[in-house]
Amino acid sequence: MSRPRSRRSERGAAALEFALVAPLLMLLLMGIITYGYMLSFRQSLSQAAAEGARAAAVAPISANRQALATSAVGSAIGVACGTTYLTCTVTFPTTCTCVSVTVTHRYKADPSKPVFLGLGLVIPDTLTYTAVSEVS
């Protein structure tokens, strides 16, 4: 016949369980925040590249299409092309009558982007997006 356990022998068990589980939950939460922010910024890059390609595609032939494209990318993302972390490449492929804009951001090197402790291993070093638009 076993004796029922007293409440005193289980004191502190909840605190110990919380101490074991809380770091894992915090890591999961910070991972979701970090990865979500990175994906949101990647969407901004894709939108900026599309804006740059569109601006160059609809510009008259006499205009400086490369300058118009980089200006459109800069205004769409809020950072000028050619800065420390953001580069823009505008090309006019010979295989089509189109313009290609590639936007690259050095994500991990940019101190304004959040990367929580230990999560830098799963976040890419650079984010790149290319948009192609037909020249009218």
Question: Could you tell me if residue 4 is inside a domain?
Answer: no
Cα torsion angle, 5, 9, 14, 18, sign: negative
Q: Quick check: is 5 in a domain? A: no
Residue 47, in any domain of the structure: yes
Alpha-carbon distance values, 88 to 24, 59, 100, 112 (Å): 39, 18, 10, 19
In this structure, is residue 110 part of a structural domain?
Answer: yes
Within 10 angstroms of residue 127's Cβ, the number of other Cβ atoms is 22
35-74 pLDDT tens trace: 888 899 999 999 999 999 999 999 888 889 999 999 999 9
* Count of all residues that appear for the chain in the document: 136
Domain membership flag for residue 63:
yes
Mean pLDDT of the chain: 86
User: How far is residue 26's CA from residue 22's CA, in Å, rounded to a whole number?
Assistant: 6
Q: Say if 2 falls within a structural domain.
A: no
Q: pTM here?
A: 0.78
User: Tokens at residue 82, please?
Assistant: 């050619």
Total domain count for the chain? 1
**DSSP symbol at 79:** S
Domain that holds residue 100: 10-134
Structure tokens at 56: 């160059």
Query: Is residue 83 situated within a structural domain?
Result: yes
* Predicted confidence band of residue 32 (pLDDT cuts 50, 70, 90): confident
Query: So what's the pLDDT on residue 12?
Result: 82
Closest residue by Cα to residue 81 from 117, 118, 56? 56
Residue 1 included in any domain: no
